Amino acid sequence: MGAHPKRKISKMRRDSRRGHHALEFPQFITCPSCRQLTLPHQACHRCGVYRGRQVVEMNNERASQ
């Protein structure tokens, strides 16, 4: 015979255990060079600048949009 619970887990106990499972909305910062919203600690996907330096070479037609 396998494991068998002695008592029913209440809704409060079940839901409080799952309290850390909520999804978090990502935090955005504004790129200082192009004013586009971007994720922190990552190069801007529009202009390729990270911490004031050009780290990703971007095409001119995409950067001008």
pTM for this prediction = 0.55
List CB contacts of 47: < 8 A, sequence separation 6 or more.
Answer: 31, 33, 34, 36, 58, 63
Mean pLDDT of residues grouped by 10 in the chain (65 residues)? 89 90 91 93 93 86 53
Contact predicate 18/5, CB 8 Å: no
Whole-number pLDDT of residue 62: 52
- Cα dihedral angle (18, 19, 25, 27), rounded to 10 degrees? -130
